[in-house]
Amino acid sequence: MHILRPIKSTDFDALRQIAEESGHGFTSLPVNDDMLREKINRSEQSFIKQISTPQDEGYLFVLEDSETGNIMGTTAIEAAVGMTVPLYHYHQGKTVHHSPTLGVYNTVDILSMCNDYTGASEICTLFLREPYRKGLAGRFLSRSRFTFMADHSDRFSNTVIAEMRGVSDENGHSPFWQWLQEHFFSIEFPQADHLVGLGEKVFISELMPKYPIYANLLSEKAQAVIGNVHEKTKPALRLLEKEGFEHRGYVDLFDAGPTVEARLHNIQTVQDSSVAKVNICEPTGTGSLAISNQKLNDFRATFTEEALYHPQNNTLDLHPNVASALNVTSGDSVRIFKL
């Protein structure tokens, strides 16, 4: 079985390997041992923290192969971004240059730096290792975090965002950043990317242009990538769009990748999921069901065909092996959705 669970300190080696495999532009997992250990520790503290409103918690999960113990991938949720370190975006807008006297009317695209998503919850750090990118694992990894948020909604904002990786080449060079570097910075994109991953964002407010940027002044290559995603990020974006996430003109400062958003209660997985009582037996399933145990620090989720949902009485027949993996017994409540 594939089991999604909170990360723990013994997963450090696996998390470091994922950080190395994720490559340039994956700022939420820097290849830095101290930072990765801090992320694990922060996550462990977040899961046991007693709160009533979202603050600065970060929940980091790993997907484990229960047969081999191998860590297949990871995903995370930031409870409220921008509360301690500012979160910057460019917002795409327009300005009009109009002269009735000369008969001139020009509409120009502009990029304005902002902090509009301060306090929003962010889904991030979604990465499935290459050997496991088949079947339903990726879809399960993406969608199961929404069931966790639904069951613990007091820990999250109703606005949920996802920052998608923008266009860059195999060496990590971004056409958008190259224009910024030429005019405002003197460091390469991978270095800026690395600094952001380390949480060192002071240089943004120090060096970024304070006024809106006219998009038509950028190079053609830079203009072409605004709001577009990295080739490897397209499947993740498609999954989020199916969930109801939309791009509303916010892009990353460095690679101009889009940030998409949705309301938590409007996310498709949240709307399609059901809460059911467990009945442990040996059912004949009718398709893959994703199941989470609704717990916090002991959160577990998996997907299986060894389960049968009865909507008429809101019960779920569940095989003993699956129940054991989820740490549930007969009569416990679980949240389910069809994969």
The CA-atom distances, in angstroms, between 330 and each of 283, 286, 315, 326 are 14, 21, 10, 12
Q: What is this structure's pTM?
A: 0.89
Q: What is the pLDDT of residue 200?
A: 60
Q: What is the pLDDT of residue 134?
A: 86
Q: What is the pLDDT of residue 159?
A: 98
User: Given a cut of 60, is residue 25 above it in pLDDT?
Assistant: no
User: Given a cut of 80, is residue 83 above it in pLDDT?
Assistant: yes
The CA-atom distances, in angstroms, between 218 and each of 177, 180, 185, 239 are 10, 9, 15, 31
Q: What is the pLDDT of residue 32?
A: 85
Q: What is the pLDDT of residue 102?
A: 92
At 317 the three-state DSSP class reads strand
- 141-184 pLDDT, tens per residue? 999 999 999 999 999 999 999 999 898 887 777 888 888 777 77
At 63 the three-state DSSP class reads strand
CA distance linking residue 148 with residue 248, whole number of Å: 25
> Following DSSP, what letter does each residue of 159-217 receive, concatenated?
EEEEEPP----TT---HHHHHHHHHT--S-HHHHHHHHHTT--HHHHHHS-SSPEEGGG
pLDDT band at 235 (very low <50, low <70, confident <90, very high): confident
CA distance linking residue 320 with residue 310, whole number of Å: 17
Active site residue 230: yes
Q: What is the pLDDT of residue 324?
A: 96
Instruction: Label residues 239-278 b or e (16+ Cβ within 10 Å = b).
Output: bbeebbbebebbbbbbbbbbbbbbebeebbbbeebeebeb
SS3 for 28-45, per residue?
Answer: CCCCCHHHHHHHHHHHHH
pLDDT band at 24 (very low <50, low <70, confident <90, very high): low
At 321 the three-state DSSP class reads helix
- 176-210 pLDDT, tens per residue? 888 877 777 666 666 666 666 656 656 666 667 77
Q: What is the pLDDT of residue 86?
A: 84
User: For the purposes of burial, counting CB atoms within 10 Å of the CB of 204, is it exposed (0-12), middle (13-18) or buried (19 or more)?
Assistant: middle
The CA-atom distances, in angstroms, between 226 and each of 125, 166, 216, 219 are 22, 8, 12, 11
- Compute how many other C-beta atoms are within 10 angstroms of the C-beta atom of residue 131: 8
Q: What percent of the chain has pLDDT over 90?
A: 67
Sign of CA dihedral 121, 164, 338, 71: negative
pLDDT band at 27 (very low <50, low <70, confident <90, very high): low
**Contact call for residues 285 and 306 (beta carbons, < 8 A):** yes
User: Once rounded to an integer, what is the mean pLDDT over residues 127-132?
Assistant: 90
Indicate which residue of 2, 24, 230, 319 is catalytic: 230
User: Once rounded to an integer, what is the mean pLDDT over residues 305-318?
Assistant: 94
- 257-301 pLDDT, tens per residue? 999 999 999 999 999 999 999 999 988 767 899 999 999 999 999
